Amino acid sequence: MIEKKNVYRIVTIADYEREAVFLGEMHAKGWKLRKVSYSILLVAVKYTFEKCQPEQVVYQLDFYPMKESERASYLQLFKDCGWEHIADYNGFSYFRKLYSGVESDAEFEIYNDAAGKLAMVKRILRLRMLPILLLFSALLPVFSKFVSEGSSFSWEVFLIFIIDWVLLIVFAIQISYIFWRLFQKWHELSDK
């Protein structure tokens, strides 16, 4: 029977490079990635690993949501370049390649030029962050109207109000962090 291990980590959509490094470190310790999924904790990502021989492997993530009809040619392109497709999660495709299969430094990354990396960051901003920002902007006036109309004091309403504001602040901080990381990456890649 194959030994399996589940690891839970809190990562954001902007942490894809750190995630790839973590997966490579796990493989070097003898645990290869098998599956990525949502956890019951909702804020954490669940990684399922399978015991293997420790190897030096490079992992890469690609954010490229697509139609099902485009999927086969997309995966074939990566296969032709020596990348093994492992899983898909939250718009990201997870790939790996043995270091022994890498002939040059340029092959360590899916996008080995600044333009390709910048295009991926723009896709993340456009397809993931912009809809969240629009939803947040649309809900803020509704929330403030709800809060300002409460005239009689009630502990239940007060408690809901406090919980909502705490969640709103945490959400705003998280979204700000993600935007900051992605725009930092954008500026870094634009300068190249």
Q: Is the pLDDT score of 54 beyond 80?
A: yes
Distance CA 115, CA 192 (A): 9
- For residue 81, which of 101, 66, 67, 64 has the smallest C-alpha distance? 101
Give the tens place of pLDDT for each residue, 94-112: 999 988 766 666 667 777 7
Alpha helices in 104-154 (DSSP H): 114-124, 130-148
Query: In the prediction, which pLDDT does 122 show?
Result: 82
Torsion of CA 71, 72, 75, 76, to 10 degrees: -150
Q: What is the mean pLDDT of residues 114-130?
A: 78
Most confident of 128-142, 146-160, 162-176: 162-176
Q: Is the pLDDT score of 165 beyond 60?
A: yes
Q: Are 58 and 102 in contact (CB under 8 A)?
A: yes
- For residue 175, which of 130, 138, 141, 142 has the smallest C-alpha distance? 130
Query: Which helix (H) or strand (E) covers residue 39, if one does?
Result: none
Q: Is the pLDDT score of 17 beyond 80?
A: yes
Full-model pTM: 0.72
**Residue whose entry in the numeric block shows the structure tokens 């898909």:** 88
Domain residue limits, the chain:
4-108, 114-190
Please list the helix, strand and coil fractions of the chain in percent, rounded to the nearest 5, in that order: 55, 20, 25
Give the tens place of pLDDT for each residue, 62-84: 988 888 888 999 999 999 988 99
Q: Is the pLDDT score of 126 beyond 70?
A: yes
pLDDT-derived band at 145 (thresholds 50, 70, 90) equals low
